[in-house]
Amino acid sequence: MRLSKNTVAAFEQYPEKVLQFGEGNFLRCFVDWMFHELNKKADFKGSIVVVQPIENGMVDMLNEQDCLYTLYLRGLQNGKVENYHETISVISRGINPYTQFSEYLKTAENPEMRFVISNTTEAGIAYKAEDKATDTPPSSYPAKLTVWLYHRYKTFNGDASKGMHIIPCELIDKNAYYLKKYILQLAADWKLEDGFTAWLESACTFNNTLVDRIVPGYPKDRIAEITAELGYEDKQVVEGEPFHLWVIEAGEQLEKELPFPSIGLNVLYTKDVSPYKVRKVRILNGVHTALVPVAYLYGIDTVRESMEDAVVGKFIKDALFEEIIPTLDLPLQELQDFAAAVLERFSNPFIKHLLMSISLNSWAKFETRVLPSILEYVKRKNAVPKHLSFSLAATIAFYKGERNGEAIALKDDADLLELLQNAWSKYDGSDASVKAVVTTVLAYEKNWKFDLNTVAGLTDAVTAHLVNIQKLGMKEAIKTV
């Protein structure tokens, strides 16, 4: 038996108020779940129309089971294991604009439509000059949305009350800013009237966001167990962790219309999303990046095992609380609470997060996620942070390409791999040759944007750590920190 309206008790369909571009796991596990909660707890009484943003997608599969799906939230929450599932019924229908373009445009004629949500991947918010207003549909997401917004503007004769709150969830900085920029550019390219541009500026809001929830997605390794538990077949099951955070740059009006915080969801409305983005990048992503080479060379393969190891676990916590948090400017308690939640997420017994999967493009990640903490620490403390500089040394050791006699499958830009290979080829076991390797890596301005050898004390600190790693091995070298 397939999941459908017939298998859900007390099924109720609400008016369509949300247009959503994207039908993938993340939006269904994150935003759609939140709107489902809003219907249950805040009398929102609205449903979501899902638009397939690319030609080959999954709306047909979603429609086949009446746009219902089962959400599993599994992990640690406040020190307790949470393993919860629920049928999500907030999506009304899925539309493929490549085969249902007129139906897609018709949704713009609905006076109750109020919100636009999207997650079209990092590449989705892009300007394509070849898109035309007459395309059915245009290829890019900004162009599809421009066509839709213009149709709405014309339908309601520029009525300001029919403007939209546009809330992109793509993982790029200033996502709404760039989406608006490209829409305005397309409006100019297409020579749409000035009244439309004025309506976009005055009647619509474009809200930058930050989203955070680990979503493993479809649990193919245990779907037989899930099907037996549910008693029906669901091809759209999605798994996620209990933790969730949605930071939305918005005014008071949006919070009134979408009162997520009032029902206990971790949604923050703010005038500036930037500090929260920095917090996430430096703490969650930064710790991930700093952890990988240390734990992997120590002999560990997953994030959870790293947390459970007494030595590596302590290294992670010390780096986080002693060296990363002191470089951030949000309230201390807020930073500590977020950090504690991150460590709990890393310990999730239901997620097997391989260190090697995080190691992809480690140098670019280190430059954006860890290096800012090192530089800010040096600036504020007039000293080199010992744990983060040790991680930098461990990253250099990791790119030597060997763990306990076995080759490491390094994945990075070809020029970086060549740089490290050449540097390590000159290593002869002496301290001087270690320093030569370090100096070469820190001088690579293409990655760092400037010569890191100019940072007071950094070259010597990293060299000392790398000497210990090479002579003692990771298990003993980490103890020197």
Average pLDDT on 181-205 reads 98
Q: How confident is the model at residue 2 (pLDDT cuts 50, 70, 90)?
A: confident
**pLDDT averaged over every residue in the chain:** 96
Average pLDDT on 364-378 reads 96
Q: How confident is the model at residue 198 (pLDDT cuts 50, 70, 90)?
A: very high
- Using CA atoms, how far apart are residues 469 and 2, in angstroms rounded to an integer? 56
Distances in whole angstroms, Cα of residue 94 to Cα of each of 21, 196, 225, 245, 458: 10, 28, 28, 26, 54
Give CATH for domain 5-270.
Answer: 3.40.50.720
> Is the pLDDT score of 21 beyond 90?
yes
Q: How confident is the model at residue 269 (pLDDT cuts 50, 70, 90)?
A: very high
Domain boundaries, the chain: 5-270, 274-480
pLDDT for position 25:
95
Q: For 73-97, how does the pLDDT look when each residue is reduced to its tens digit (9 = 90+)?
A: 999 888 889 999 999 999 999 999 9
| Of residues 279, 294, 293, the one with CA closest to residue 369 | 279
> Is the pLDDT score of 8 beyond 90?
no
> Is the pLDDT score of 343 beyond 90?
yes
> Omega of the bond prior to 15 within 30 degrees of 0, cis?
no
Q: For 380-395, how does the pLDDT look when each residue is reduced to its tens digit (9 = 90+)?
A: 999 999 999 999 999 9
pLDDT for position 22:
97
Q: How confident is the model at residue 225 (pLDDT cuts 50, 70, 90)?
A: very high
Which CATH superfamily includes the segment(s) 274-480?
A: N-(1-d-carboxylethyl)-l-norvaline Dehydrogenase; domain 2 (1.10.1040.10)
CB 95 within 8 A of CB 50: yes
Distances in whole angstroms, Cα of residue 325 to Cα of each of 63, 244, 414, 446, 478: 46, 21, 33, 28, 21
Residue that the structure tokens 């005014």 belong to: 251
> Is the pLDDT score of 42 beyond 80?
yes
CB 164 within 8 A of CB 152: yes
> Is the pLDDT score of 468 beyond 80?
yes
What is the sign of the dihedral through the CA atoms of 33, 39, 44 and 50? positive
Distances in whole angstroms, Cα of residue 425 to Cα of each of 117, 296, 400, 412, 420: 51, 22, 9, 18, 8
Q: How confident is the model at residue 455 (pLDDT cuts 50, 70, 90)?
A: very high
Least confident of 1-5, 168-172, 221-225: 1-5
Decide which of 10 and 294 is more confident: 294
Report angle CA 297, 301, 303 to the nearest 5 degrees. Answer: 105
DSSP 8-class letter at 282: I
pLDDT for position 400:
97
| Of residues 271, 456, 295, the one with CA closest to residue 387 | 295
- Using CA atoms, how far apart are residues 285 and 368, in angstroms rounded to an integer? 9
